[in-house]
Amino acid sequence: MDARLTLFSYFRSSASYRVRIALAWKGLEYTYHAVNLIEDGGQHRKESYLQYNPMAELPTLWVERVGAPGFAVAQSTAILEYLEECYPHPALLPKAPEDRARVRQIMQIINSSIQPIQNLKVMQQLQAQFGVTREQTLAWSKYWIERGFEGLERLLVQTAGAFAVGEQVTFADVLIVPQVYNADRFRVEMADYPTIARVASTAGALDAFRSAAPDIQPDTPKSS
């Protein structure tokens, strides 16, 4: 599909990181539009951004095609599926329905059952509504990642080959690597989750994953 792609992204956003990996994996060029989650009370909360993503979250993919109206799609997993449909090669979903279901199960474990509980707005609301300290919100995030990783580790012991589901890089790896980045930020002891750590390290070393890493994005602070 011939289109101009713009990604609204923040270097440290794990959901943005997922989409950056998929774009790189598929060799797609795109314009990086930085939206800072911290500055100005959060640029993602400004009216100028809400027109692209009414949930005030990153990422959003903006698609421009000749002869068609611009198209904004948000929710990283919806963006990933959209990219897979428009640019099927190289694939990030396996062929067999059972493997595809397993990949999507892992995607949703991270997207629905782990990441939302440690999102910035949850931390901010815990502080504003209940007066918890920053240290307590960090402990909260660490706790929920650990609970999620316990289940994910059990699953990956059954599904993993070199990568999370067998021998092919899939969306499962695309979500696991950014979640392990978050886990490191919250000081989760990854030795307790050896299969997650192994597949994250294997996938994370691939060029597409490296180029999407938070430490080398256009909006990464020089000191980061």
Ligand X SMILES: N[C@@H](CCC(=O)N[C@@H](CS)C(=O)NCC(=O)O)C(=O)O
- Residue 76 binds to ligand X (criterion: CB under 6 A): yes
- Residue 185 binds to ligand X (criterion: CB under 6 A): no
Cβ neighbourhood burial of 59 (10 Å; 0-12, 13-18, 19+): buried
Q: Where are the alpha helices (DSSP H) in 66-185?
A: 76-86, 97-113, 120-130, 134-159, 171-185
Residue 12 backbone dihedrals phi, psi, to 5 degrees: -95, -5
Q: Rounded to whole angstroms, how far apart are CA atoms 158 and 142?
A: 25
DSSP helix/strand/coil, 72: strand
Q: Which is nearer to ligand X, 106 or 202 (CB)?
A: 106
**CA 105 from centre of chain:** 15
- Residue 81 binds to ligand X (criterion: CB under 6 A): no
Q: Please identify which residue in 72, 91, 120, 206 interacts with ligand X, judged by CB under 6 A.
A: 120
User: Per-residue x/- mask for ligand X, residues 122 to 161, rule CB under 6 A?
Assistant: ----------------------------------------
Write down the least CB distance from residue 105 to ligand X, Å: 16
Q: What is the DSSP letter of 144?
A: H
Footprint of ligand X on residues 12-71 (CB under 6 A)? 13-15, 37, 42, 44, 57-58
> Under the rule (CB under 6 A), what is the footprint of ligand X?
13-15, 37, 42, 44, 57-58, 75-77, 111, 119-121
